[in-house]
Structure formats: C-alpha cells, structure tokens
Amino acid sequence: MNVTTPKGEIAWVGYYNAAGEPVCIVTSKPARDFYYLYEVNADGSLTKLGRAREPPELEEKYHVYERMHGTYKK
C-alpha cells in the first residue's frame, strides 16, 4: 500500500500490524515543534488523530499499540 505523507511534513515512524499493513504514522514539520499522528485507512489515505510535543504522548493517548494488534475499540 502506498501512503503519502502530507505536504510539508516528514514521516518519522510507521506502525504496522502483524500482516505488515500500515496502521498509523507519526509525522512533523521540519521544525519538529509538534508531532502528528495519522491513522492509515484501507485505501492508503490518512486521517489525522492528533498532535503532541512528543510521539510517546500520541502513542498513549490514541492507543497505537492496541490499534496495531487489532484490540482497539472505538
């Protein structure tokens, strides 16, 4: 699946499920003042979940590891 990073942002981390499919990505602007978490949709498009000063804040708040393992309930 081809995932395109939003214009002007740099992708830092990709989170994948056991099948190797992308689940989420963390990006930032070049200044790295905020990091953004996106959920990767089935068609490769992105949905912004939130932003934070540090990526671990995003992982915790948006339950990234549960999303990776398929145990996250919306």
pLDDT(1) > 80: no
CA distance 34 to 65: 21
Using one digit for the tens of pLDDT, what is the confidence trace for 22-37? 999 999 999 999 999 9
Evaluate the CA torsion angle 15, 23, 40, 58 in order and state its sign.
negative
**Chain mean position to CA 44:** 12
Residues 6+ apart with CB under 8 A from 2: 44
CA distance 69 to 23: 10
pLDDT(43) > 90: yes
Instruction: Identify the DSSP state of 5.
Output: P
Rounded to a whole number, what is the distance in angstroms from the first to the last CA of the chain?
Answer: 24
Query: For the chain, what percent of residues have pLDDT higher than 90?
Result: 91
